[in-house]
Chain A
Amino acid sequence: MSRRHFLRLASSLAALGYTIQEVGRLADAFASELPGSNDPSASTCRDQSYLPSLRVPPVTRNGAHVPIVAEMRHPMEPDHYIKSLQILNESDPIPSKGIFYFSPANGRAYLSVQARMHSGASAVRVIAECTRHGRWTTSQPITIPEGGGGCATAAEGGDNVLMDDAIRPPVIRIPELVERGKIRQGEIIHVQVKLKHPSRTGLALQGSAFVQTADPFYLKEMKVLYGDRLVSRYEMTPAISDSPFMTFTLRVMEESTVRIVVTNSRGQQFETSHKIVLA
């Protein structure tokens, strides 16, 4: 390499290094000028990054069990938080898949659940409601092939058809505990509720129309208590899947008991609790 080439290369590298440093500095300066970038709770919901995010499979064969994850990067402070997330598919015979009500104790607005949807191309929508700034909505397309719809589930033979093992009361699973065996104070954990319970819309598909041929039988409500406080409530509809595996979040602030109370459309209540022990 000639002396001239070496000097040219060295000066180019120095200039590149300076540029990278300057760009970094400018980016930092720009970020610090954004409203509330250092204090998430001071941010405005008008920021596009606060739009709810929705994950559904673009195509799935099984309309009886469509996995849905709705979440929002948003402050969960006592005076400013996401109050609720509602999941809908407006082209279904039962559009609402339920409304999950949050409180700041959830730490994050996050819900994972499975629902029944009809075949064809449609859109799943989530509506988030903030305590200060109203409602936001996001939707995602979904296609379920003909014959794969999951909304027609007439009850089989009336009210006393449940087999002995058709219902199993809820159990709380905390994946962080399975993975690492401990929970730290202040941590936001995932609380998963698994239970075995049928969900029947009572609808039958006659030709291209849905007809109510039986009473729906489904999980109607889930209450989440942390200590004595009601932290969340989930109002469900018959459009929830059989034995839904539900996940939401909780900010662990103290050693206390998480209690889940689930009520079905016949008024039967099932309960479970889990003692949170800090590491």
Chain B
Amino acid sequence: MKRLRKMRTILGASLCLLLVVASGQNPAFAHKAKHTPEQLKAFEQAFLEQVKVGDLLFHGDGDTQKRLDVTLSNTGMACAMCHPFASDTHPYTFPKFQEQVSKFATLRDMINWCIEKAAEGEKIEDDSEAMKALETYIYWSTRGSKLEPGTH
């Protein structure tokens, strides 16, 4: 009898949890809900704002570098001078073992490698606004690129 009562309690509790999950009332499951068009628009706007900053940095804009307190080059080089259209950056292939630097590298590692070695600038913080903007611009520019493992 006691065992039956225990079983009933467990079953009831599970049912309640299932109902809560299904109705989406629990805030812990809020991210499972579909985004509204307004939310999606706001997300896209935030993304494109980063693309714009990244675009300016990628093409060597001095004012943006000053504002973000970064020196991407000391010679006048800009990322776009070797990577027009962000070509040959292959962001989707990272992280991977990068022969050039003889280590397992992320895209951010490679951005800093280019800043220091090719552009002769000063390495930027991994979580800085400039790094996020550059990364966003590179991903945005190469959207839809065909990924061919082993050829990059």
- Is A65's CB under 8 angstroms from B87's CB? no
Which residues from chain A contact B78 at a C-beta distance below 8 Å? 67, 245
CA–CA, A57 and B120, complex, Å: 10
**Which residues of chain B come closer than 8 Å to A69, judged between CB atoms?**
76
Q: What residues on A are CB-neighbors of B61 within 8 Å?
A: 175, 179
Q: Does A168 lie at the interface of the complex (its beta carbon under 8 Å from any beta carbon of B)?
A: yes
A64's closest neighbor in chain B, by CB? B82
B78 to A, closest residue via Cβ: A245
Assuming A57-B120, A173-B59, A192-B59, is B77 touching A67 (CB within 8 A)? Answer: yes
Q: Is A55 an interface residue (CB 8 A)?
A: yes
CA distance A109 to B141 in the complex (A): 31
B87 touches A168 (CB 8 A): yes
Q: Write out the residue numbers on chain A whose beta carbons fall within 8 Å of the beta carbon of B117.
A: 61
Inter-chain CA distance A175–B3, complex, in Å, is: 75
Chain B neighbourhood of A65, CB < 8 A? 77, 81-82, 118
Interfacial residues of chain B within 68-85, with CB under 8 A of chain A in the complex: 74-78, 80-82, 84-85
Chain A residues with CB below 8 A from B82, complex form: 65, 242-243
* Contact-residue size bin, chain A (C-beta under 8 Å from the other chain): 20 to 34
Q: A80-124: which have CB < 8 Å to B?
A: 114
Which residue of chain B has the shortest Cβ distance to A69 in the bound complex?
A: B76
**Do the beta carbons of A179 and B56 come within 8 Å of each other?**
yes
Give Cα A152–Cα B55 distance, bound, in whole angstroms.
Answer: 32
Chain B residues in the interface with A (C-beta under 8 A) = 52, 55-56, 59, 61, 63, 74-78, 80-82, 84-85, 87, 117-118, 120
Q: Apart from A67-B81, A179-B61, what 9 extra A-B contacts exist at CB < 8 Å?
A: A57-B76, A62-B120, A65-B118, A67-B77, A168-B87, A195-B84, A196-B85, A243-B81, A245-B81
Taking Cβ atoms with an 8 Å cutoff, the residues of A that contact B are 55-57, 60-62, 65-69, 114, 165, 168, 171, 173, 175, 178-179, 192, 194-196, 241-245
